[in-house]
Amino acid sequence: DGGITQSPKYLFRKEGQNVTLSCEQNLNHDAMYWYRQDPGQGLRLIYYSQIVNDFQKGDIAEGYSVSREKKESFPLTVTSAQKNPTAFYLCASSSPGSGYTFGSGTRLTVV
């Protein structure tokens, strides 16, 4: 079945450590996105990519980095510069006329 796979489901990060969240899609969608969601809040856009080897900052890109070397993959790195990284992270993809497809999310906790 086509869809988006995010891994891991739960991730624990120590202070000062970089961690990478994986996002893979087999929908052949051009665009991919990373969102952050805090408890009881809506989705805030971190980064998005419309095409391979290109990506744009969203509203809260500071402390995060991404790459888009393959159409299927859009990993997100949470760097030590992100002071409050504990949140639920959602990856999504879309194609013209298709709307969004979301992954099941990664819950990141700083320990």
The residues that touch other proteins, with contacts defined as CB under 8 A, are 4, 31, 33, 35, 41-43, 45, 48, 50, 56, 58, 88, 90, 92, 94, 96-97, 99-105, 107
In the bound complex, what is the minimum distance in angstroms from residue 91's beta carbon to other proteins? 8
User: Amino acid identity of 5?
Assistant: T
* Distance between CA atoms of residues 47 and 91, nearest Å: 10
Given a contact cutoff of 8 angstroms between Cβ atoms, the answer to whether 68 and 32 are in contact is: yes
> Side chain identity at 37, as an amino acid letter?
Q
Least separation in angstroms between CB 80 and other proteins? 26
**Whether the Cβ atoms of residue 100 and residue 93 lie closer than 8 Å to each other:** yes
What is the smallest separation between the CB atom of 90 and other proteins, expressed in angstroms?
A: 5
Shortest Å, Cβ 107 to other proteins = 8
Nearer to other proteins, 36 or 82 (CB): 36
Please identify, using beta-carbon distances, which residue of 38 and 69 lies nearer to other proteins: 38
The answer to whether the beta carbons of residues 68 and 54 sit under 8 Å apart is yes
Structure tokens at 53: 């080897």
